[in-house]
Structure 1
């Protein structure tokens, strides 16, 4: 979460993956700046760099209200993270982006990350959760 959402550092993100690691984002729509599937550290670095060049969500991330839950599985190299990233809007509203990530590790690095997320609506849309 720190490397991605907070620092938006593609080098730090790519370094967490194995050389042949896969970042899979099956819910992103066609034409989204983050491709649905990135294979290999170089592709992950390039793909997340392009994605992070997009304007950031206009709300301010609220770390105190943000939360996550980790779930173990029967496979010690697989775990699931439920993440709620909370934002404070300029007009006082509070918005939350919820996502689920499934991690498969190999030798302490991410071999496969399935990232199930949907972009937040823009602040002009007037939506919040």
Structure 2
């Protein structure tokens, strides 16, 4: 039985944002899967484009070893998302609003982003992640 867009999206978020598990994240992609973050500037800690499961695994493992900006983490109870299916059953769009709690000295920060998923055989063949690149620095 094939997984739904919701199941694919939630397992992707759990592997990446929640557990920061590069192996699990890479396994969400097809062998030749592509991760793209078109708004990320050259030289950023997160590469703009990763091609192939092994490149995704290696690059994300290195990225997850870096300290999280300001030590912050998302507040999943305050955050939310909406999935939009398309006429193509292998394409869906995630509209995400993530809330990062303040550190005591600062207020919570809300960040909105959009991800476009293209699937093949129940795995991510291409993911375009459109988010504010200043989240990385």
Asked if structure 1 preserves the Cα contact closer than 8 Å seen for 2:44 and 2:136, the reply is no
CA RMSD of aligned residues (A): 1.5
Q: How many residues align?
A: 122
Structure with greater strand percent: 1
Alignment of 1:88 with 2:101, yes or no, is yes
| Alignment partner of 2:79 out of 66, 74, 95 | 66
Q: TM-score by structure 2 length?
A: 0.83
Q: Which runs of 4+ in 1 moved over 3 A?
A: none
Give 1 or 2: higher helix fraction: 2
Alignment of 1:1-129 (within 5 A): 1-57=13-69, 58-91=71-104, 93-118=107-132, 119-120=134-135
Partners of 2:47 and 2:73 in 1: how far apart?
A: 25
> TM-score, normalised to structure 1's length?
0.88
Unaligned runs of 5+ residues in structure 2 are 1-12
| Structure 1 residue 96: Cα displacement | 1.5
